Amino acid sequence: GNKKSGLYEDGVRKDRLDNDDMIAQLESRIRAKASQLDEARRIDVLQVEK
């Protein structure tokens, strides 16, 4: 079947994500949002090897 999950921001559903590709979709959205945040408020994040 076509399995999807809801994506919510601030309690409001914004989108439906395909479960098979959810991690990649979430990562791209999080990175896009993080790139918009204030530089002074950022924290250093280390890349984890897969």
Residue 41 has pLDDT above 90, yes or no: no
Confidence band of 1 (pLDDT split at 50, 70, 90) = low
CA distances from 41 to 4, 11, 26, 49 (A): 33, 24, 21, 25
pLDDT tens figures, 6-26: 999 889 999 999 999 999 999
CB atoms within 10 A of CB 4: 13
What integer is the mean pLDDT of 14-41? 89
E-strand ranges in the chain read 4-9, 12-18
Confidence band of 46 (pLDDT split at 50, 70, 90) = confident
pTM attached to this predicted model: 0.61
